[in-house]
């Protein structure tokens, strides 16, 4: 299992464990959400966490005020550090803190204004999805019957993200839209939290073609810890590693990462699923309450991969080195 020369753990020194990079998790989307929950990712070697700050229902003003409130409380928590740059992530790791940035799960909060990409970047948003499950102004979603791909506006959005330094993310997009993103982007594209459709047939999972085109951009597929995407509601390390194994065999260890999509308000989410099943397709509701891999589960992935015989450089890459490489290339 050879590694590309672009992956290195030299920056973490000989004694420190590798960096853990959690590319997507979800606090409750309210200003008073308990940001201290993010300290559950603390570990030797350091951790970076990207937190969802909005999606389809949110306006630009909603997202801006939410992030402003969270930033204030992250800055006041001595276990957390806001990360503007990759250097900040290294510094947080050395201090034993969790580095935090934000992502948007839909381009809707831009409200059609491309200059808001720069505005959100300045607030700490480092990753954005063009579309969330269903078609919007930018492109198609994974739950659409037909995905017609990125729109003209969607292509302009990818160009603007490239210019600003924000990473384009194909999770939740339709397959055609994801492929179009890889073709349109001059920077690496990621699937921040997506499993492999060849391992488990689910509309939220990505095809081999999507994975290969993502890797061709220099990007990373973040295998996610949601039970219904891993298998028939299997939120286990074994299920996660099965998808990692498949992705590594397909595109190489330098293009695979981890990203749980853990919702800290999962009880509320499952209550909504139970009360309003008509809002979700059968592929979401079939197994009852959805199981999610916790931050504590994610902290065991490193040992699970080593126990599987993965070499240390591959584990370092998958655990965080690959997403860190993308950030170092794309972030301004």
Q: Report helix angle 152-164 to 175-184, nearest 10.
A: 50
> Which residue from 209, 164, 174, 211 is spatially nearest to 189, judged by alpha carbons?
211
pLDDT digits (tens, 9 = 90+) for 130-150: 999 999 999 999 999 999 999
Instruction: Transcribe 104-126 into DSSP letters.
Output: ES-SGGGTT-TTHHHHHHHHTEE
pLDDT digits (tens, 9 = 90+) for 292-319: 999 999 999 999 999 999 999 999 999 9
pLDDT tier at 203, thresholds 50, 70, 90: very high
For residue 222, the cross-strand partners are: 257
Residue 11 has pLDDT above 60, yes or no: no
Are 126 and 331 in contact by the 8 Å Cβ rule? The answer is: yes
SS3 9: coil
Q: Can you tell me the distance from the alpha carbon of 173 to that of 204, in angstroms, rounded to the nearest whole number? A: 8
pLDDT tier at 15, thresholds 50, 70, 90: low
Q: Can you tell me the distance from the alpha carbon of 174 to that of 153, in angstroms, rounded to the nearest whole number? A: 16
pLDDT averaged over the chain? 95
Q: Can you tell me the distance from the alpha carbon of 264 to that of 217, in angstroms, rounded to the nearest whole number? A: 32
> Which residue from 269, 257, 195 is spatially nearest to 232, judged by alpha carbons?
195
pLDDT digits (tens, 9 = 90+) for 204-235: 999 999 999 999 999 999 999 999 999 999 99
- Residue 222 is inside which H or E element, if any? strand 221-223
Over the range 291-300, which residues count as b (16 or more CB within 10 Å of their CB) and which as e?
A: bbbebebbee
Over the range 176-192, which residues count as b (16 or more CB within 10 Å of their CB) and which as e?
A: bbbbbbbebbebbbbbb
For residue 82, the cross-strand partners are: 100
- Note the pLDDT of residue 141: 98
Both tokens of 121, joined, read 């970047």
Q: Delineate the domains of the chain, giving CATH numbers in brackets.
A: 17-264+291-330 (3.20.20.140)
């Amino acid at each position: 299992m050879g590694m590309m020369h672009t992956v290195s753990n030299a920056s973490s020194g000989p004694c420190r464990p590798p960096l853990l990079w959690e590319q997507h998790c979800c606090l409750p989307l309210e200003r008073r959400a308990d940001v201290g929950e993010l300290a559950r990712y603390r570990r030797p070697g350091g951790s970076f966490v990207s937190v969802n700050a909005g999606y389809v229902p949110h306006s630009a003003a909603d997202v801006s005020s939410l992030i402003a409130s969270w930033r204030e409380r992250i800055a006041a928590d001595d276990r957390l550090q806001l990360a503007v740059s990759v250097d900040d992530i290294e510094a947080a790791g050395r201090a034993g803190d969790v580095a935090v940035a934000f992502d948007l799960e839909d381009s809707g909060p831009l409200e059609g204004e491309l200059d808001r990409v720069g505005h959100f970047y300045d607030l700490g948003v480092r990753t954005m999805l063009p579309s969330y499950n269903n078609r919007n102004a930018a492109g198609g979603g994974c739950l659409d019957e037909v995905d017609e791909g990125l729109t003209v506006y969607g292509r302009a959005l990818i160009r603007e993200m490239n210019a600003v330094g924000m990473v384009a993310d194909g999770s939740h997009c339709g397959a055609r839209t994801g492929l179009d993103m890889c073709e349109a982007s001059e920077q690496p594209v990621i699937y921040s939290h997506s499993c492999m459709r060849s391992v488990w047939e689910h509309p939220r999972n990505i095809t081999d073609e999507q994975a290969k085109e993502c890797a061709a951009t220099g990007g990373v597929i973040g295998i996610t810890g949601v039970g219904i995407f891993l298998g028939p509601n299997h939120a286990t390390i074994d299920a996660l590693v099965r998808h990692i194994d498949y992705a590594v065999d397909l595109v190489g260890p330098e293009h695979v990462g981890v990203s749980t999509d853990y919702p800290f308000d999962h009880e509320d989410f499952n209550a909504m699923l139970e009360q309003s099943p008509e809002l979700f397709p059968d592929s979401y509701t079939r197994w009852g309450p959805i199981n999610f891999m916790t931050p504590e589960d994610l902290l065991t992935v490193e040992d699970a991969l080593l126990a599987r015989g993965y070499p240390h450089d591959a584990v370092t890459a998958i655990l965080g080195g690959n997403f860190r490489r993308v950030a170092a290339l794309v972030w301004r």
